[in-house]
């Protein structure tokens, strides 16, 4: 009989799978297609980025009305409101300027007045223009590194309830039209999950948003940039899912590599201790809830049959999604 893995050995094995899986994405054809598409999206200044987020917090891929059509074969949906940003405008104008010599002394005319001359000067101003997020458009799909998790999960309802109970903020379920699977709002202290998600995608997304809340992303003490925050949250989601016996690699590996700034996975490497500690804490909380649930059901075994429980607490395992 094979020796049972210790918790630390299991965590180390998950770390290696995570690093190897993300690294493999970078050498794939899918990654080359993704980078080619992403390079066509305009880069916005920090001020315009703030304007975009303030108007549509869930914005991810943004460009102008015509660019959506010409570069991506997508059209803006009827009734959508544009996101206002400021576009620079350069122009030229004639101005009258005083004349100085090479020593920066005023050049005088015969009457003792400083000479002036007409010169052409460039100037820059700004005008409002409107852009649209991918969630406001329809058409050809944008290349992505992730694959939607369509599988069902054993004991899904129990797992969903447990995650709601261990979350540091309330979790609600509703239709999200922005294209996001879910989001954590630090200002209103809540997590919202798209109620239409398949079971495994929903569980993974709940853990992702719980990780954001646990790490206090978006709070006053938050020091991370958006790339790092997303790598942290999705790495925790993958790690916790693995501890539960769920495989989210087809989504998580691509998501993490898509948010990495470089192929060296600097965000992942620099934050492994934080990711590991957070994943260990969340998975331990889940296991405590499972044990409590198991204990309660043992006391009432004659009235309520127990769910299948594995030896290493990997209770909730993915099963193939049934065709309908």
User: pLDDT tens, 20-46?
Assistant: 999 999 989 888 888 888 888 888 888
Which residues are paired to 137 by β-bridges? 76
Looking at the predicted structure, is the pLDDT value of residue 178 above 80? no
Average pLDDT over residues 226-255: 94
* Average pLDDT score, the chain: 86
Strand-pair category, 190-194 with 171-174: parallel
Looking at the predicted structure, is the pLDDT value of residue 69 above 60? yes
State residue 211's pLDDT score: 97
State residue 82's pLDDT score: 95
Which residues are paired to 183 by β-bridges? 192
Do residues 199 and 158 lie in contact, with contact meaning Cβ atoms separated by under 8 Å? no
Position 58 confidence tier, pLDDT thresholds 50, 70, 90: confident
| Crossing angle of helices 199-214 and 226-243, rounded to 10° | 120
State residue 2's pLDDT score: 53
| Crossing angle of helices 7-26 and 272-299, rounded to 10° | 130
Average pLDDT over residues 42-70: 90
State residue 298's pLDDT score: 53
Q: Is the pTM of this model over 0.85?
A: no
User: pLDDT tens, 221-233?
Assistant: 899 998 999 999 9
What are the phi and psi torsion angles at 282 (to 5°)?
-65, -45
What are the phi and psi torsion angles at 298 (to 5°)?
-65, -40
User: pLDDT tens, 79-107?
Assistant: 999 999 998 888 788 888 888 888 888 88
State residue 315's pLDDT score: 33
How far is the CA of 70 from the CAs of 63, 90, 182, 268, in angstroms?
A: 11, 25, 30, 35
State residue 312's pLDDT score: 40
State residue 302's pLDDT score: 46
User: pLDDT tens, 180-191?
Assistant: 899 999 999 999
Q: What is the dihedral of CA 299, 302, 303, 308, to 10 degrees?
A: 80
Spatial strand order in the sheet of 62-64: 62-64, 116-133, 83-98
Position 157 confidence tier, pLDDT thresholds 50, 70, 90: very high
Question: Which of 170-179, 229-238, 254-263 has the highest average model confidence (pLDDT)?
Answer: 229-238
State residue 262's pLDDT score: 87
């Amino acid at each position: 009989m094979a020796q049972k893995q210790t918790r630390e050995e299991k965590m180390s094995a998950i770390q290696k799978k995570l690093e190897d899986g993300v690294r493999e994405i970078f050498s794939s054809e899918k990654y080359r297609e993704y980078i080619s598409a992403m390079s066509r999206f305009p880069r916005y200044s920090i001020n315009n980025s703030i304007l975009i987020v303030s108007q549509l917090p869930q914005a991810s891929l943004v460009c102008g009305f015509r660019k959506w059509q010409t570069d991506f074969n997508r059209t803006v949906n009827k009734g959508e409101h544009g996101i206002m940003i400021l576009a620079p405008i350069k122009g030229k104008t004639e101005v009258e300027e005083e004349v100085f010599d090479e020593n920066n002394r005023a050049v005088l005319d015969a009457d003792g007045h400083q000479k002036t001359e007409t010169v052409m000067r460039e100037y820059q101003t700004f005008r409002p223009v409107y852009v649209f997020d991918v969630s406001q458009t329809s058409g050809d799909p944008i290349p992505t590194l992730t694959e939607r998790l369509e599988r069902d999960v054993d004991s899904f309802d129990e797992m969903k309830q447990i995650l709601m109970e261990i979350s540091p903020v309330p979790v609600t379920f509703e239709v999200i039209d922005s294209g996001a699977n879910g989001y954590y709002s630090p200002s209103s202290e809540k997590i919202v999950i798209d109620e239409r998600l398949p079971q495994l995608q929903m569980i993974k997304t709940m853990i992702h948003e719980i990780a954001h809340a646990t790490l206090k992303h978006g709070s006053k003490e938050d020091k991370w940039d958006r790339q790092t925050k997303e790598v942290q949250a999705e790495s925790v989601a993958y790690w916790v899912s693995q501890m539960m016996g769920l495989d989210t690699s087809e989504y998580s590996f691509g998501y993490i590599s898509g948010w990495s700034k470089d192929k060296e996975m600097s965000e992942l490497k620099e934050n492994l201790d934080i990711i590991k500690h957070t994943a260990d804490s969340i998975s331990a909380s889940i296991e405590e809830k499972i044990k409590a649930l198991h204990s309660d059901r043992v006391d009432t075994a004659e009235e309520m049959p127990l769910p299948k429980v594995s030896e290493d607490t990997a209770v909730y395992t993915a099963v193939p999604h049934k065709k309908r």
